[in-house]
Structure 1
Amino acid sequence: MKITLNFSDLQDMTMEHAFPDNYHYLGEPIVERTTSLECFGGTGSYREIFFEGVHIAYGDLRLKQQTILNFESDFETVEMHFDLSGNTLTNISGSNRMRYEFNSNHHNIIYVPGIKGNLHFNTMSTQVLEINLSIPLFKKFIADTEIFTNFIQEINQQNPAMLGRHNMPITPAMVSLIRSMLDCKKEGMYKRMYLEAKVVELLLLQLEQFAFHDCNSFCSLKPADMEKMHHARDIIFTRANEVHSLRRLALEIGTNEFTLKKGFKEVFGTTVFGMLSDLKMEEAKRLLSEGEKSISEISEYAGYKNCTHFTTAFKKKYGVTPGKYKVEL
């Protein structure tokens, strides 16, 4: 199993990236490696984690110019793709041509057989998480699910395919899971077990989002309004503590409160303040896991003046009080 890479402007510099069969190094419960990247004056890193049936890869690339990366692979995979920042465009050539684009904070699930194509980095900074699953492992989870029948058929026919017609927005719960995976300090079999559980949980969130997605509502928005809703979401994710009113947020993205409320719910399946609350609760959960701040400090960060109200909200969302969650870690 290997993939061959070269940059369009540097055809004489070709790299081969090898993968063990089924992503599993025999005799090792889990294997990690990090590759430093330098190209066109840019820098970055590519961090990989391998265990049976799963390959987790986190790429962080900072370029000085837009770049095209040519690739050719000799194996099939199902990829859980999360574009954390930046914009990328992939073209698959040959008889099964396919084209897919990802903007910041979006995800999808992609099937690719052995393919040839190119990847366009359209922004100077790109952060991507890719979780490659073996075909048997992926089918284990969705083989009997009727709504995903077409995707399974494409896999069986070895045609490149995407699970969702649209890329979907990454949710606060997904962000929390991704952070916990990348920050995991466990080792050996314990790390493998931890990451296996998180990969399945992340896959569950993806599948649920696609299964319950209302395509008619999503598609009814004008492209300009869709872009504004995503702008609002980016503001919530990057400046959560500055979002105090719908009116101010609507003004910043160039629309009115009614359009913001209606459009945001249609695109993301939740309200502005529902997403804001979820984001802060996921961050509160992470801070509790770190154990460096008191519950009262975390309560204040989450926007609760009364610690009791925070405890009630936390228990309602996670089924356990903050204090008990902290003790059980």
Structure 2
Amino acid sequence: MYKMYGDEFTELVNRNFTDNFGIQENSIEKNGFFSCQAAIIKSEAYNVLHFRSSFQTALEVNNFKDFNHTSFHFQLRGHSDANISGFKHALPLQQGDYNVMNCVDPISNFKFPEQPNYAYICVGVNPTHLSKLLEHCGMDWKNLADDIQFKRPFALLEKPRQFSMDIKSILGTIINPSIADSLKKCFLNSKVDELILLTLDDTLKTQNDGFNKILSKRDTASLYDLKQFLDTHYLESFTLSHLARQTGLNEFKLKKGFKLLFNYTVFGYIHYLRMQHGMNLLKEQELRVSEIATLLGYFSDASFSRAFKNHFGCKPTDLKINVIK
């Protein structure tokens, strides 16, 4: 296995949001290990990374630091695994899979197994642009817009889904646009927005299939009420049976329905809210780490520090030092 660290990988996939529209090509080759090429389209609203490689041996990328973005990831060929800060579980993708991930101050570790002809397209969307786009899409997307606005990490699909032929066709048009250079920026802007909307439409169909199987309209309303309640009572202690009685749902519908609607487990959402509150308290610099740990329900500084690092990718003491600087 060949190991690469984030700074070296950044030289290959150097992508960001920029006012100056542009297209660039990067490559890196390690004889006997791998040969990688990256084509990158950059704009202020999005960037598109078309990554291709042939891996003669497995590649592991560690501590890759990226920027805040919503990632529309499409696996064209091959398979890989990703562990991204803010996400509890690994995010594997197989050939033909896609998923949508909101990445907040992400620090990632990637594993690329030995394989020929590996390829994916990742469309990183500026959260500001995506929020404005969702404003025109109605109440179905309000929760997603809120998650983006308040910088909440999420994977839109619990399990990756195979992308459609329509999506595949647009991906091909984006990476190989047959249009005059003077029109390319405007053309690609419209195609990326079309890709975003088609992808979201596909995820909505998947979610509605799941909702209709187990949730009535009354069940759905009860779960939205519960989420609103947790938004202001997340420091209190609850049991699943207590919350089930409060909502009038059985525990199965509570667990399954909450996950389907909000892409969090009930206690995963409470944990997320507590971590965000802890981050805000650390930035205010008015309480010691031990006091914050106690406030959030941890019995030791060490356990709070572990949970904080798993969520944000750094220890609370590191954040305090950086803020002071």
Name the TM tier (shorter chain). Answer: 0.5 to 0.7
**1:69 equivalent in alignment to 2:61:** yes
CA drift of 1:8 comes to 6.1
Q: Residue 67 of structure 1 contacts residue 120 of structure 1 at CA under 8 Å; is this kept in 2? A: yes
Moved over 6 A (4+): 217-220
Q: Residue 48 of structure 2 contacts residue 124 of structure 2 at CA under 8 Å; is this kept in 1? A: yes
The residue type equivalent to 2:186 in the other structure is M
Q: Using a 3 Å threshold, how does the CA distance of structure 1 residues 37 and 136 change in structure 2: closer, same or farther?
A: same
Listed as ranges, the gaps of 5+ residues in structure 1 are 1-6, 221-329
Render the CA deviation track for 1:215-253: whole Å, top value 9, x for unaligned: 449999xxxxxxxxxxxxxxxxxxxxxxxxxxxxxxxxx
Counterpart-to-counterpart distance in 1, 2:148 and 2:211? 28
- Counterpart among 100, 105, 110 of residue 119 in structure 1: 110
Q: Residue 43 of structure 1 contacts residue 61 of structure 1 at CA under 8 Å; is this kept in 2? A: yes
Give aligned-pair identity as a percent.
15
CA drift of 1:158 comes to 2.3
1:165 alignment partner, SS class: coil
The residue type equivalent to 1:117 in the other structure is S
Render the CA deviation track for 1:240-293: whole Å, top value 9, x for unaligned: xxxxxxxxxxxxxxxxxxxxxxxxxxxxxxxxxxxxxxxxxxxxxxxxxxxxxx
Counterpart-to-counterpart distance in 2, 1:154 and 1:8? 36
The residue type equivalent to 1:132 in the other structure is G
Counterpart-to-counterpart distance in 2, 1:23 and 1:13? 20
Q: Residue 72 of structure 2 contacts residue 101 of structure 2 at CA under 8 Å; is this kept in 1? A: yes
2:92 alignment partner, SS class: strand
Q: Residue 55 of structure 2 contacts residue 115 of structure 2 at CA under 8 Å; is this kept in 1? A: yes
Number of the residue aligned with 2:94: 103
Q: Using a 3 Å threshold, how does the CA distance of structure 1 residues 205 and 10 change in structure 2: closer, same or farther?
A: closer
Counterpart-to-counterpart distance in 2, 1:194 and 1:50? 13
CA drift of 1:66 comes to 1.9
1:102 alignment partner, SS class: coil
- Counterpart among 150, 153, 158 of residue 160 in structure 1: 153
Render the CA deviation track for 1:64-111: whole Å, top value 9, x for unaligned: 122211243252001111011111111124x65442111110112111
1:23 alignment partner, SS class: coil
Q: Using a 3 Å threshold, how does the CA distance of structure 1 residues 175 and 13 change in structure 2: closer, same or farther?
A: closer
Number of the residue aligned with 2:202: 209
- Counterpart among 174, 178, 200 of residue 167 in structure 2: 174
CA drift of 1:167 comes to 1.7
Q: Residue 151 of structure 1 contacts residue 161 of structure 1 at CA under 8 Å; is this kept in 2? A: no
- Counterpart among 69, 72, 82 of residue 80 in structure 1: 72
Alignment of 1:46-65 (within 5 A): 46-65=38-57
Listed as ranges, the gaps of 5+ residues in structure 2 are 215-325
Higher fraction of strand: 1
- Counterpart among 18, 21, 31 of residue 23 in structure 1: 18
Q: Using a 3 Å threshold, how does the CA distance of structure 1 residues 149 and 165 change in structure 2: closer, same or farther?
A: farther
Counterpart-to-counterpart distance in 1, 2:213 and 2:57? 33
Alignment of 1:118-157 (within 5 A): 118-125=109-116, 126-143=118-135, 145-157=138-150
Q: Using a 3 Å threshold, how does the CA distance of structure 1 residues 123 and 140 change in structure 2: closer, same or farther?
A: farther
Superposition RMSD on alpha carbons, in Å?
2.9
CA drift of 1:123 comes to 4.8
The residue type equivalent to 1:184 in the other structure is P
Number of the residue aligned with 2:84: 92
Q: Using a 3 Å threshold, how does the CA distance of structure 1 residues 158 and 115 change in structure 2: closer, same or farther?
A: same
Q: Residue 151 of structure 1 contacts residue 162 of structure 1 at CA under 8 Å; is this kept in 2? A: no
Render the CA deviation track for 1:13-54: whole Å, top value 9, x for unaligned: 83544545x3332xxxx3111111213532131001112211
Range that drifts further, 171-180 or 65-74: 65-74
Q: Using a 3 Å threshold, how does the CA distance of structure 1 residues 71 and 33 change in structure 2: closer, same or farther?
A: farther
Structure 1 length normalisation: TM-score? Answer: 0.56
Counterpart-to-counterpart distance in 1, 2:38 and 2:213? 35
Q: Residue 59 of structure 1 contacts residue 127 of structure 1 at CA under 8 Å; is this kept in 2? A: yes
